[in-house]
Amino acid sequence: MTARTDTPSAPRPAGWRDWLTTDTPQSRAQARLGRAWAGWTAFRRNRLAVAGLLIVLALVIVAALAPVLAPHHPYAQDLNNRLMPPSAAHWLGTDAFGRDILSRLIHGARLTLMIVALVAATAPLAGLVIGTAAGYFGGWVDTVLMRITDIALAFPKLILALAFVAALGPGIENAVIAIAITSWPPYARIARAETLTVRRADFISAARLQGASSLRIILGHIMPLCIASLIVRTTLDMAGVILTAAGLGFLGLGAQPPLPEWGAMIASGRQYVLEQWWVAAMPGLAIFIVSLGFNLLGDGLRDVLDPKGD
């Protein structure tokens, strides 16, 4: 906020910064960008949140460039070099088939990112639709939808996910489905609460008077207002999603061998943990770092986007 300076002698006043921080924006786009900039400056002050953002960005980059970054092929076996400790040739050691653990972790980043992206694209969306519909229509629609949500909220998530995977069969897709099915209810609650705060607002009545249909009002006016809190909640939940997916993988119900999924890698290193600790330790560390990244990022986003929560 101190960017505004009264000294005209400043050599090069940051033009774009002034443009962003002006209190008289000339266009809608400028106002939006200005708000985004204000949010970013607030976010930037939280160093832990920035660290979280960097971790998540690193995950994306590693996943995108996996074949380039990985020193070895993730499935390349070398039975002469089984269970080798970390060394110059294999920075994080090798597993029971002599595969390079670092390379498998790098390729596993793709699986983790895929799981996170799929769950983030489905569960909050389902919750958003259910929550906004319940909040906007009220009456019996609200009662029925929220009863179902409350019931689903009272279920134990991990155990149900286990049972779903048992029914659908082990595999990474089914793990994603099971996680998504069990994680939509909180989003519906949040979306409903947000909807209730704006349902009676004048701009909604104005839109309705102009003849906008319910669908149009929900899609165009209500849903955008729910996005901020949903993003925060989704980011915070992603750490839990990563941990659940890894847990399913660890139990042998998620990604199947030889896929380099981090939870499954821990499971395969389990029998060697007392002697060749790195086989199980390294994938766990990767899970830890990535889910910490999401937690830090979500925590920082909550402060910026949703300042109501203390």
Partner 1 sequence: MPTLKRGLTLLVTVAATLLGLLLVTFLIGRVVPIDPVLSALGDRANADSYAQMRTQLGLDLPLWQQFLRYVGDVLQGDLGTSVLTSRPVLEDVLRVFPATLELATVAAIVGAVLGIPAGVFAAVNRGRWPDHAIRLLGLLGHSVPIFWLGLMALLLFYAKLDWAPGPGRVDVFYEGMVDPVTGLVTVDALLAGETDIFWNAVGHLVLPSAILGLYCVAYIARMTRGFMLDQLRQEYITTARVKGLSETRVVWGHALRNITVPLITVIALSYASLLEGSVLTEMVFAWPGLGLYITNSLLSADMNAVLGGTLVVGAVFIALNLLSDLLYRLLDPRAR
Judged by the rule CB under 8 A, the positions of this chain that interact with partner 1 are 48, 147-148, 150-152, 154-160, 162-169, 239-240, 243, 246-247, 250-253, 263, 266, 270, 273-274, 277, 280-281, 283-284, 287-288, 291-292, 294-296, 299, 310
Which residue, 25 or 284, has its beta carbon nearer to partner 1?
A: 284
- Any idea of the CA torsion for 23, 26, 27, 30, to the nearest 10 degrees? -50
| φ, ψ for residue 94, nearest 5 deg | -125, 160
Which residue, 131 or 283, has its beta carbon nearer to partner 1?
A: 283
Q: How far is the CB of 216 from partner 1 (least distance, A)?
A: 33
* 306 within 8 A of 62, measured Cβ to Cβ: no
Distance between CA atoms of residues 97 and 64, nearest Å: 26
Which residue, 152 or 226, has its beta carbon nearer to partner 1?
A: 152
Length of the chain: 310
Distance between CA atoms of residues 151 and 130, nearest Å: 14
Which residue, 228 or 281, has its beta carbon nearer to partner 1?
A: 281
Q: How far is the CB of 165 from partner 1 (least distance, A)?
A: 8
94: helix, strand or coil: strand
Q: Which two tokens stand for residue 286?
A: 């990767």
Q: How far is the CB of 167 from partner 1 (least distance, A)?
A: 4
Q: How far is the CB of 224 from partner 1 (least distance, A)?
A: 29
Q: How far is the CB of 199 from partner 1 (least distance, A)?
A: 25
- Alpha-helical regions (H) of 46-100: 47-64, 66-69
Q: How far is the CB of 293 from partner 1 (least distance, A)?
A: 8
Which residue, 18 or 150, has its beta carbon nearer to partner 1?
A: 150
Measured in whole angstroms, the distance separating CA 74 from the mean position of its chain's CA atoms is 25
Which residue, 98 or 170, has its beta carbon nearer to partner 1?
A: 170
Distance between CA atoms of residues 235 and 239, nearest Å: 7
Q: Which two tokens stand for residue 239?
A: 């750490």
Q: How far is the CB of 285 from partner 1 (least distance, A)?
A: 8
* 143 within 8 A of 200, measured Cβ to Cβ: no
Which residue, 124 or 269, has its beta carbon nearer to partner 1?
A: 269
Q: How far is the CB of 193 from partner 1 (least distance, A)?
A: 18
Place of tokens 């229509």: 137
Which residue, 10 or 154, has its beta carbon nearer to partner 1?
A: 154
Measured on CA atoms in the order 169, 170, 173, 178, is the torsion positive or negative? positive
Distance between CA atoms of residues 24 and 31, nearest Å: 8
| φ, ψ for residue 90, nearest 5 deg | -125, 100
